[in-house]
Structure 1
């Protein structure tokens, strides 16, 4: 029942994204199929009737060839243009919906703790964004559209044959649906374990390839490189065997469709013979009945591919639906603080997943706008967790958090494999080059960038490869300055930098932080000295709140490590 609800959630999102074009595509597909059935049936009637009319001069003169020939031309042109329009509309609508779902899914990941989950399982989440979203393509193109087309084909065949004999029409309608949909259901049931296994092996193969590529040096040093390659080859071989099993199943489904088609033609032929013997049916109408039944079963073959991939689509829907639901689409950002304060926490508690002990215990904290506060304490005391709460990247399990809009300079310098310009524009996508040069100048990086051959267009490698540690940190500082926020969160901003570079970065931070609120997590004296208030954390609790100018403040500052 839950899986059905997940599938309905995805279908609703499909319709919400572009219902008009999706319905238009399904309608065009159905009309194209109906035109094909009518074309074959009318052509059979016309050829047979023309042949019989030619047996006598009187019949030939009385026979009207213009109306049916014009109808055949119209149906042929309609089928051709309808097929082109159907392909254009259905595929364009599908690609648009999938793009919209990717944006929705990505926004769903922008909720608290998303960054932590992304770092823990980047490969799996990337597969959700690519493979699982692509699997949903089959829901519309290979399931919903063929279902609509096959129902229309069975209905048209039943109606045309019902004009000749209502019993024949009803039997053909029920028989077509039973055979066509029955074979599809049988195929989907047999394909389910194979398709699920294929998805698991594909993910395992991708993860193994990434591990082999990223860790080949470590694997070689440990002597595990041949074993890793062998494991990857074994997974690939199992995946190939699974693909072969699916192809064999699709072939058997095609054989069943062929048998059902031959049985349909044989039964209609026998029924037409009986009706003709009773004088209720002439030869042209018998040809119409036979060819209509033959053409009506053809669209059901399109369901085979959808039936094979139905399990994969259902699994993708089950994985993605929780993130795509309306309540998960909205990022659970921290509430907004009053204008006079930058941050307020009331009895806040946080426990990280997989940990028995809370990271924060009933934290009460108020920071006024314009205040500079440093959070100090040993590693694991809860400093970074406190900043993550303020940034809205972490949701508290208890208590409430209200924060002003802020910018977070994390411990790690987050740079991407892109141009230097685009790495800067993450802070402000609309920033012009003049603004970029201004913040680079303010961060002390402008001269270094000017010396690069491509300047702002210089490509950076993964993680900012191509820049030194100091240059990367200055680039992160420039990005911080580019974003217009009155509340800065600084998590050990000069960790790992040499003394001269750290002093320069801190001086620039101090100069450009004029009038802003600062919350700094640190265990270094040079960083804590920027603050006028020290919060001492121990075991997830604030054990001291010290003000500048007091002996306790000076003593706490003196106990910190200088470098």
Structure 2
């Protein structure tokens, strides 16, 4: 039941895409097959009829060679054009659907809890965007389109032969449908397990290879380099064994279809020979029937690879289908922009996946627009969890969460192997160069940008290689400024920075957060000094809420690290 629901979700995505292209691709594929059958059948009839007509002068003069030859030329051109059109249309339609699927999955991982899941198993989730989605192209290109064209060819071949003899046409159509579809279906079932083993082996091989490349130093120090190399070789051997099993199945399908084609051709030969001997058909019609039967099995050969890879495709459907079935967390409620409240929590209890204890316990909080709040407390008190709930990264088990649009600024800065412009565009794809330059200036990167010959087109290395940790943090701040959300949530924004850089970052945040609601989770005094209120958290609860100018406010500041 779950598999069928996931399959329906993926099929609905294909159908909801450019359905006109999908239908056009299938029809062009069928037209290509039918043109091939008609071309060979007409050619056989024409050659035989011409040979017979040439036996006497009278028949040779009366025989019309122009109409059949024109038909042959037309079918040859039509077959070439339809084949070209089919490849263009089917691949274009498939790529459009897969691009939309990647976007939907990527957006799906922006829901509550997704970031932590990606941090826990990043390789697996990355493969969902690559291996699994690539596997889904077989669903349309190697299963649905060949199935449609092969079934259509069987029916048309049966209909054509039915004009010669009804029982012959019916028998050929039933034989083609039974054998041509039955053999690939049996192969799909037989190849499902090795296809799944291949997908798992490929995933493991890539993950272990990445671990070897990125962790060479640690592996050498731990004396595990040879063991890691052996584990990669083991995964590669499992992948090769799965490939061998799938190739054997595909070869078996080819042999079975070849034998079926020979049996069909022999049967048709006997039937047309009997009909010709009885004088019911002539030699040209017999040649046409034989060549139609010969080419009618060819479309089923296109199902071989799709049938063999169907197990891999269905596994991909099972893994990406839940995201298409709406199995995602609902976002936090939004507060109207004209309201005086920026954040409101009522009786919120939240728990991280797999955790025994709650991260937040019955937290209620109201923050007005423009307020600056500092969250303090020991590590594990629930500060980051509170920010995650407000940002929608962590779903609340109980209670209500409402917030204006918020941006979460964490300690970890994710920079990608791409241009500086593309890294900035992640926060605001509509931003132009002037807005990006202004954001970089706000973050204190104008001088560094001036030293880069390519400017915004400068390429960053993997993980932001080429930028220091302070510059990377400033670049993240530029993203924050560029996004321009009314609520900024900062999780220890200057942790790990030197004093000078940290003070500059804090000053710039204070300057550009004017008019915005600011919440800062911190252990450091300099990050909390500008707050209007300080919230002290312990064991997932707010145990103190004090305002500037009170003795308790100063007492909490004194308990923080001086730098």
- TM-score normalized by structure 1? 0.96
Shift of 1:460: 2.4
Q: Identify which range, 464-473 or 530-539, moves more after superposition.
A: 464-473
The answer to whether 1:450 aligns with 2:450 is: yes
Q: 1:487 Cα shift?
A: 1.5
Residue 308 of structure 2 aligns with which residue? 308
- Find the partner of 2:330 among 324, 332, 341: 332
8 Å contact from structure 1 (residues 183, 256) kept in 2? yes
Q: Cα deviations across residues 118-174 of structure 1 (Å, max 9, x unaligned)? A: 111111111110111111111111111111111111111111111111111111100
Supply the distance in 2 between the matched residues of 1:22 and 1:256 (Cα, whole angstroms): 30
- Alpha-carbon distance, 1:538 to partner: 0.6
Paired residues, number: 561
Indicate yes or no: 2:253 matched with 1:253.
yes
Matches within 5 A, 1:258-337: 258-325=258-325, 327-328=326-327, 332-337=330-335
Q: How does 1:88-487 map to 2 (within 5 A)?
A: 88-325=88-325, 327-328=326-327, 332-338=330-336, 339-487=339-487
Listed one character per residue, the Cα deviations across residues 488-538 of structure 1 (whole Å, up to 9, x for unaligned) are 111111111222322222222222222221111112221111211111111
- For residues 439 and 277 of structure 1, the distance between their equivalents in structure 2, rounded to whole angstroms, comes to 89
Q: Give distance in 2, aligned partners of 1:412 and 1:5.
A: 38
Maintained 8 Å contact 1:192/1:308: yes
Deviation, 1:328, is 4.6
Cα–Cα, structure 1 residues 111 and 447, in superposed 2: closer, same or farther, change >3 Å?
Answer: same
Cα distance change, pair 187–493 in 1 and its aligned pair in 2 (3 A): same
Tell which deviates more after alignment, 230-239 or 200-209: 230-239
**Native 8 Å contact 2:194 2:246 kept in 1:** yes
TM-score (norm 2): 0.96
For 1:557 and 1:437, the matched residues in 2 are separated by: 36
Q: Tell me the secondary structure at the aligned position of residue 520 of structure 2.
A: strand
Distance in 1 (CA, whole Å) between partners of 2:164 and 2:453 is 81
In 2: Cα distance, 1:511 partner to 1:201 partner: 52
- SS of match in other structure, 1:59: helix
Mind listing any 5+ residue stretches in structure 1 that lack a counterpart?
none
Moved more, 228-237 or 22-31: 228-237
Distance in 2 between residues matched to 1:266 and 1:501, nearest whole Å: 85
Change (3 A) 1:440 1:162: closer
Secondary structure of residue in 1 paired with 2:462: coil
The answer to whether the 8 A contact 1:108-1:328 is kept is no
Shift of 1:451: 3.2
Secondary structure at the residue paired with 2:342?
strand
CA distance in 1, matches of 2:358, 2:63: 91
Alpha-carbon RMSD = 1.6
Report the alpha carbon displacement of residue 277 of structure 1 after superposing the two structures with TM: 2.8
Report deviation, 1:453. 4.4
- Tell me by how many angstroms 1:246 deviates: 1.6
Alpha carbons 2:108, 2:323 under 8 Å: kept: yes
Where do 1:16-95 residues align within 5 Å? 16-95=16-95
Contact 2:352 2:394 in 1 (8 A): no
